[in-house]
Amino acid sequence: MSEARTGVWLSIVLVAAATWAPDRAEAIEIKVLSAGAVRSVVSDLAEAFRRETGHTVTLTFGTVGALRQKLAAGEPADVLILTDVAIDDLARQGAVATGTRTDIARTAMGVAVREGAPVPDISTPEAFRQTLLSAKSLTYVDPAQGATSGVHFAGVLQRLGIAEAVKGKTRLVAGGYPAELVAKGEAELVAHQISEIIPVKGVTLVGPLPKDLQKITTYSAGLAARSAVADAARAFVAFLSRPSFKTRFAEAGLDYRE
């Protein structure tokens, strides 16, 4: 091979290496602490983001209360996906970068029974009260875990005046999908956020809580103030909020409209 041709080939190899190497070198891990209510969609979009950018998104799901404790204990995070109230509170404390809150989802509380079971009446507060009293068992997330749904539903039981009456037949869970207990026949009824009922196979969503007892929650993403990969973290937040993903959030019960 002539010296000239050798030089040409060497140039091509060097250009190819220069083009390929940065992509490998710039692959970043983005650590996300996220409320479980958005788990079904955020998990899928994290993988889509990896395919598009090469960046890996490591997701840790939990209740808002538990995740705030992790953050306070020093667990590293780049993006936080919590309730809008929690994100605003953390921004005031300096844990979330000011001006980075981005609302991505909106869900409500719902009730579900095992697939094929009779659908109870939950159309009014009184009808719902009678349904809860008549149910053989029920489950929801333990409010002691700082779960948005659990705290609210415990308040609903108090408001209906039946907290003590149903206590003995209630199974509290630490987090995750309590609707799975209903699917397995271990509980007759579940009260949880709709976005955490829809993904569970083997249950039927009866509907949202009566309007007077309802809680609609907005989930927001925010950039952790101490993120070491702020640019990539911002890109992931922007990715989650793309208009083209609105339909996916809606199908997962994360675009609730009254």
- 116-173 pLDDT, tens per residue? 999 999 999 999 999 999 999 999 999 999 899 999 999 999 999 999 999 999 999 9
3-state helix, strand, coil in the chain (%, to 5): 45, 25, 30
Residues 181 and 224 occupy one common structural domain: no
CA distances from 155 to 30, 62, 249 (A): 36, 21, 27
pLDDT, tens digit, 9 for 90 and up, residues 61-88: 999 999 999 999 999 999 999 999 999 9
Residues 131 and 142 occupy one common structural domain: yes
223 located within any domain: yes
DSSP string, 4-34: HHHHHHHHHHHHHHHHHHHHHHT--EEEEEE
Q: Which residue has the tokens 């799975």?
A: 180
Please classify residue 7 by burial: count the beta carbons closer than 10 Å to its beta carbon, then call 0-12 exposed, 13-18 middle and 19+ buried.
Answer: exposed
Residues 102 and 221 occupy one common structural domain: yes
Q: How many domains does the chain have?
A: 2
Q: Count other Cβ atoms within 10 Å, centred on residue 89.
A: 14
Provide the pLDDT for residue 45.
Answer: 98
Residues 129 and 204 occupy one common structural domain: yes
203 located within any domain: yes
User: pLDDT band for position 27 (50/70/90)?
Assistant: confident
CATH number for position 223: 3.40.190.10
Residues 100 and 222 occupy one common structural domain: yes
Amino acid at 104: I
93 located within any domain: yes
CB contact set of 173 (below 8 Å; sequence gap of 6+)? 139, 140, 141, 142, 181
Name the pTM for this structure: 0.83
Longest dimension (CA), the chain: 92
The residue among 222, 139, 151 whose CA lies nearest residue 178 is 139
Cβ atoms of 149 and 219 within 8 Å: the answer is: no
Instruction: Flag whether pLDDT at 22 surpasses 60.
Output: no
Residues 62 and 124 occupy one common structural domain: no
Classify 74 in phi/psi space as left (phi over 0), alpha (psi -120 to 50) or beta. Answer: left
Residues 176 and 130 occupy one common structural domain: yes
- Total residue length of the chain: 258
What CA–CA distance (Å, rounded) separates 239 from 42? 10
7 located within any domain: no
pLDDT, tens digit, 9 for 90 and up, residues 99-130: 999 999 999 999 999 999 999 999 999 999 99
Quote the domain boundaries for residue 165.
107-216
Provide the pLDDT for residue 257.
Answer: 82
Residues 144 and 98 occupy one common structural domain: no
Cβ atoms of 238 and 36 within 8 Å: the answer is: no
119 located within any domain: yes
Q: Which residue has the tokens 């309802």?
A: 214
11 located within any domain: no
2 located within any domain: no
Average confidence score pLDDT of the chain: 91
Q: Which residue has the higher pLDDT, 12 or 110?
A: 110
Residues 114 and 96 occupy one common structural domain: no
